[in-house]
Structure 1
Amino acid sequence: MRLMKKRQVTIKRNLELCFPDMSDQEREAIIKENIDNAGIALFETAMAWFWSDKRVSKHVNIEGMEHIEALEQQGKGVLMLAVHSMNLELGARAFGIQKSGSGVYRPNNNPCFDYFQYKGRSRSNRTLIDRKNVKGMLEALKTGQRVWYAPDHDYGTRRSTFAPLFAVKRACTTTGTSLLVDATDCAIVPFTMVRESNGQYTLTISAPVEGFPKNDPVQAAAFVNKIVEKSIMACPGQYMWLHRRFKTRPDGECCLYKPQLVPVM
């Protein structure tokens, strides 16, 4: 209960920072929806890790697979750009049933949980790549594979820059996307997963993005954050607002998660 209260404070703060013009009523509605979805996500993760292919596919409608098939014909590597939605595990599983790829993940500190995480995610992935294994990602993309990649979290200052995200003008953003695209000339394909009101799911695969800023990590980070914003807004209540997305600040700036601070533009 104490942990959930702390998460609730973080959700509220993230919404204040990203949407300073949002009314209190709108914000509270998203907070309530987000907390409810955090509970549902536990069941969705179990669905992703333990259900059969047939059962998963029955509940997920996939739109835009023609974009993947066209790139497959070209033999081009694809960076499947996702965000950390509550149902990301189920979305990755549903996609992998149709078109396998490599998932980028962080090994869990708990060996028992890591075993189930690895086993569950491996069910419809070609392989899993440690997020620190850049060489492994590059090799996969250079050989025409699909790599599942989520650049929306605050991963610290290493291989990062500061770029706008919603109303926060300096959000610590990974430059890994730029590194991967510049080195492999892979396509970037955004995809989003949304749970509909009827309990079914829609996985939307967008067309490959155009105009990605090559050899410019700072501009590329801003470009990627625009994609991230669009993906989040597909269903804000199902996004993982419970992480401290803006915990890393430029030198000289205070922490944004202290109650007395106002949003930084």
Structure 2
Amino acid sequence: MKKSKQKTRDTRYSRYLHPRWWPTWAGIAAMWLAARLPIKLQWWLGRRIGDLAYRLAARRRHITQVNIRLCFPDLSEQEQQVLVKQSFQANGIGVMEIGLAWFRNPASFIPITEVHGLEHVDAALARGKGILLLGGHYSTLDLGGSLVTEYIEADVMQRDHNNPLMNAVMTRARERRYGMVLDSKNLRGLLKQLKKNRIVWYATDQDYGRKDIVFAPFFGVPAGSITATSRIADRSGCAVVPFSHFRRQHEPGYDIYFHPPLEDFPSGDDLADATLVNRTIENEIRRHPDQYLWMHRRFKTRPSSDDPDLYNEDGH
């Protein structure tokens, strides 16, 4: 497993005073102000953002429709379409929650947050080999991760934002919550933290291309699945603890779930390991299917280069 160094991030706001950054600053100011609104109003606004995105983001709507059709073939066409719309609304709320994660103290949400299975984290830490916290791209991604740090000390793997100013704001916000904010490719830093018996938030549930993958079922569909999780667990001896975070359906509130570490992991069989990881994430998604990031092309990479593109709107 190739190691990589942590790249240097410059998060000084003084770098972003030029007028070309003013539109981004305006967006950040809007997020800051929205984060002060009552949570029920934020959820309502988030749903309206989702409704607007559903109408205007035709490509993302198509990707979501394809994913849900593939992953939930037992649903009727009408039920699938309802889930597509609900997914856009849930991710719209997730956009609002980014402001909460970046600009509000998550301690204020403890009264409406319930944690399940924290004893599994305590038991895994007692082994002294660190924990790889196996997460997923749920719509509560930022706020859920921030809430988690109210109950455990953790580090996080981060894919940097394409907008340098947004990346600076995001990184500074996460640095206030997490011990370290590691670059998503910094395996050297990840292994170093695990060696210190640290907890590191880690997600594997996206399509990262054809390198170092196997094709394991995800909702019954062959999906390019990275083998790095097995390599990291083998190298470090860490426990791989699944966790998830969801907002409640009918009242403001959040639930965080920790589960027992994956058993017999790694097994020495990359396909079996990736299948277990995918099934574990799939089980969490089924709690609230609408709260997953279905807008991502999870099945972009196909087992054969000759296989048709599942997201081609012409059907070829």
Structure-1 residue corresponding to 2:310: 256
Structure-2 residue corresponding to 1:231: 284
CA RMSD of aligned residues (A): 1.6
> Is 1:115 equivalent to 2:150 in the alignment?
no
CA contact (8 A) 1:83 1:192 kept: yes
Aligned length: 261
Normalised by the size of structure 1, how large is the TM-score? 0.93
Q: Secondary structure at the match of 2:242?
A: strand
Among candidates 51, 68, 71, match of residue 124 of structure 2: 71
AA at the equivalent of 1:258 = N
* Aligned counterparts of 1:36 and 1:79: Cα–Cα separation in 2: 30
Select between 143-152 and 69-78 the one with higher mean Cα deviation. 69-78
Structure 1 unmatched runs, 5+: none
Structure-2 residue corresponding to 1:82: 135
Structure-1 residue corresponding to 2:205: 152
Per the TM alignment, residue 3 of structure 1 is displaced from its structure 2 partner at its CA by: 5.4
Among candidates 110, 131, 136, match of residue 184 of structure 2: 131
CA contact (8 A) 2:130 2:197 kept: yes
* Aligned counterparts of 1:213 and 1:76: Cα–Cα separation in 2: 14
Among candidates 234, 243, 246, match of residue 194 of structure 1: 246
* Aligned counterparts of 1:260 and 1:22: Cα–Cα separation in 2: 23
Select between 194-203 and 52-61 the one with higher mean Cα deviation. 52-61
Per the TM alignment, residue 54 of structure 1 is displaced from its structure 2 partner at its CA by: 2.2
Select between 152-161 and 54-63 the one with higher mean Cα deviation. 54-63
Among candidates 93, 97, 100, match of residue 40 of structure 1: 93
Deviations 1:11-63 (A, max 9, x none): 10001111223211221111111111121111111111111142132332111
Deviations 1:85-104 (A, max 9, x none): 00011111111122121101
Per the TM alignment, residue 261 of structure 1 is displaced from its structure 2 partner at its CA by: 3.9
Structure-1 residue corresponding to 2:64: 11
* Aligned counterparts of 2:106 and 2:205: Cα–Cα separation in 1: 28
Normalised by the size of structure 2, how large is the TM-score? 0.79
Q: Percent identity?
A: 36
Per the TM alignment, residue 260 of structure 1 is displaced from its structure 2 partner at its CA by: 4.8
Structure 2 unmatched runs, 5+: 1-52
Assess, with a 3 A threshold, how the Cα gap between structure 1 residues 50 and 59 changes in structure 2: closer, same or farther.
farther
> Is 1:141 equivalent to 2:141 in the alignment?
no
> Is 1:244 equivalent to 2:244 in the alignment?
no
